[in-house]
Structure 1
Amino acid sequence: MVGVVTLALGLGLGIGLSCAACPGPKPASTSSPTPSSKASIIQPSVGTTWDYPLGFPLTTSNVNSSTVFYPVDLENTSANTIAALKSAGHTVVCYFSAGSVEDYREDAGDFPAAAIGNTLDGWPDEKWLDIRNAKVREVMATRIASAASKGCVGVDPDNIDGYTNNPGFDLTEDDTVDYVQYLAKMAHDAGLAYGLKNAGAIVDRVVDVAQWAINEECAEYEECADWAPFVKAGKPVFHVEYTKDDDATSVSASKLAKACAADGQSGFSSIIKHYSLDDWIIYC
């Protein structure tokens, strides 16, 4: 992988999966995932190595052979690329935003106007969604079915915690828990694993339906202990901290220590990335 910096500070390679080679099912309808045996749903091990390559196209020519878990963009990653990465031994899951509409997505026009809320802070082409809306949920079920048909073994739905922001709707924590449970059921019915993205306040309420968690910057905000229930349950926490400079080629010793050894972080799969999520990484 171009620009990779590896610091061997202790996590190591966690390859154990309950069904790493199981392909995703191919549902007949893109809006109603075909039920599948839950025995086929993968469960990554605590400590599994990972990267978050959402800012560049991941291929077998630039993938790190020793890194196991890779979320890739659902819309922009082909089934052939996913198959090649899986054949090379990687666990590939599909990323999409479940709580916002991005203007540039192919299905952006499928969301009803009444379900589109305020613009996300810092993301002018992205708006919050009313996650209670039936049509919004239908679009997400279609995306999950697409992830299965492309061969991803799990999904990484982002922006499910709109209630903690200013979405333009009177969303609550209970709404988010209900939505996570819905997304997890749709994923599991399609034979896919489900990962919780951020939303530390609801970890205790949804850890049982998720196979992993992805957290951004819990060390920066001193919140890593919120995700400890995943590790206790034998499920990995894929944790990323960001540099302030997207041109950085290294980090200070203090930044490294904070990112890789924060309180409550024991057992996490921790990395440091540029905010752009380009092909640069430091492994803890």
Structure 2
Amino acid sequence: MRNSSITVTVSFAVALTATALTGGIAHAMAPAPAAAALPPPVACDSCYRPALDTSWQWQLSSLPARPFLDVQMYDIDGFDARDGAVVRALKADRPGRGVVCYISAGSLEDWRPDAGRFPASVVGKELDGWPGERWLDIRQYRGRLGEIMKARLDMCRAAGFDAVEPDNVDGFSNDTGFPIRASDQLAYNTWLANEAHRRGLSVALKNDVEQIPRLLPYFDFALNEECWSNDECTTAQNDGEYGYDQFVQAGKAVFQVEYALPVSRFCPRSNAQNFNSLRKRLELGPERTPCRGV
């Protein structure tokens, strides 16, 4: 996913004219406006925080069944596990295991039980390659959309989850059908993180690589798909601006998945960065190949 850019060329003569009209060189060279202010992060001292080196399983197409893998963290579908039975079983099987609640926070999935609650005004274009799923206008989070997302977070908490993985929180860099700006995405993502913390849930930043520097104070760990395939895992790969090594440097775990690359192409690099990487199939079933440990 890439943001489009627009290059504007202004002639020297026009630039001189603009300078004269606006009061001289000093005015013409004034600094750009500061980035929009974000709300302060909501503290959650009791929230679950996975260690930098954490074994895990990401399984969304089905619920895990016994015998469970001997891993320290499971990330599973929140709606499928909303009765809490699997969450309780996973925790009883290995005390101290973290269980993460997957929800989509940026798309409508037409098979979910709350799909009828979304007003037509927030429903946009289809997600490419994902039938039945449409982008949401996340700018409207202060209205009905926000209430739906709060209810989903309440569902995760009531089921006994420790953390939440909000998906599709990078609409600003996709063709959603709405003029979503980077600043809109920052406002929504920080709101989501703060709402999760208010409920005692830790929260993962899913993808949205470009906004890591501004979102890092709000999120407790990160989950990424295919950053090695896209050459965007580390700050060095991103011209010194953003990367998942920034999470690691802050003492926050990074969970990472590749679908197409052979393990020999990414595992050594992931291990060197202290990422918790897996090779998975796109459907995210039980199959997995970990880069280290279990």
1:264 Cα deviation after fit: 9.6
Q: Deviations over 1:110-152 (max 9, x none)?
A: 1110100000000120000001112111101110011000000
Normalised to the residue count of structure 2, the TM-score between the two structures is 0.78
- In structure 1, the residue matched to 2:56 is 50
> How many residue pairs align between the two structures?
237
User: Is 1:194 matched up with 2:203?
Assistant: yes
Matches within 5 A, 1:27-38: 38=44
Take 2:63 and 2:124, find their aligned partners in 1: how far apart are those partners?
Answer: 30
* TM-superposition CA deviations, 1:197-241 (whole Å, max 9, x none): 000000011111111000000111111101111000000110000
Q: Which has the higher contact order (CA 8 A, sep 6+)?
A: 1
CA distance in 2, matches of 1:56, 1:111: 25
**Contact residue 155 and residue 192 of structure 1 kept, 8 A:** yes
Q: Scaled by the length of structure 1, what TM-score is found?
A: 0.80
Cα pair 1:222 1:262 within 8 Å, conserved: no
| Secondary structure in structure 1 of the residue aligned to 2:262 | helix
Structure 1 residue 97 corresponds to structure 2 residue 104: yes
- In structure 2, what is the Cα distance between the partners aligned to 1:126 and 1:62? 32
- What's the offset of the Cα at 1:51? 1.3
Residue number in structure 1 paired with 2:47: 41
User: Does the 8 Å contact 1:228/1:264 carry over to 2?
Assistant: no
Gaps (5+ residues) in structure 1?
1-35, 244-253
Structure 1 segments (4+ residues) deviating >3 Å: 262-265
Distance 2:151 2:214 in 1: 25
Task: Verify the 8 A CA contact 2:270 2:276 in the aligned structure 1.
Answer: no
Code of the residue aligned with 2:233 in structure 1: it is: C
Aligned residue in 1 for 2:129: 122
8 Å CA contact 2:270–2:277 kept in 1: the answer is: no
The separation in 2 between residues aligned to 1:88 and 1:119, in whole angstroms, is 39
Q: Secondary structure at the match of 1:57?
A: coil
Aligned CA distance change for structure 1 residues 279 and 238 (closer, same or farther; 3 Å): same
Q: CA deviation at 1:263?
A: 7.5
Aligned to 1:273: 280
- Give aligned-pair identity as a percent: 37
Which amino acid counterpart does residue 44 of structure 2 have in structure 1?
K
Query: Is 1:76 the counterpart of 2:80 in the alignment?
Result: yes
Q: 1:148 to 1:116 in 2, by over 3 A?
A: same
Pairs within 5 Å for 1:55-204: 55-59=61-65, 61-65=66-70, 67-77=71-81, 78-89=83-94, 90-133=97-140, 134-204=143-213
Taking the aligned partners of 1:79 and 1:145, their CA distance within structure 2 comes to: 12
Report deviation, 1:257: 2.1
Matches of 2:55 and 2:248, distance apart in 1: 14
Q: Gapped runs of 5+ residues in structure 2?
A: 1-41, 235-242
Question: Which has the larger displacement, 254-263 or 271-280?
Answer: 254-263
How many Å separate the matches in 2 of 1:208 and 1:114? 31
Aligned to 2:56, what secondary structure does the other structure show? coil
Contact 1:161–1:176, Cα closer than 8 Å, also in 2: yes
What's the CA shift string for 1:176-210, capped at 9, x where partnerless?
11111111111000011011000000001111111
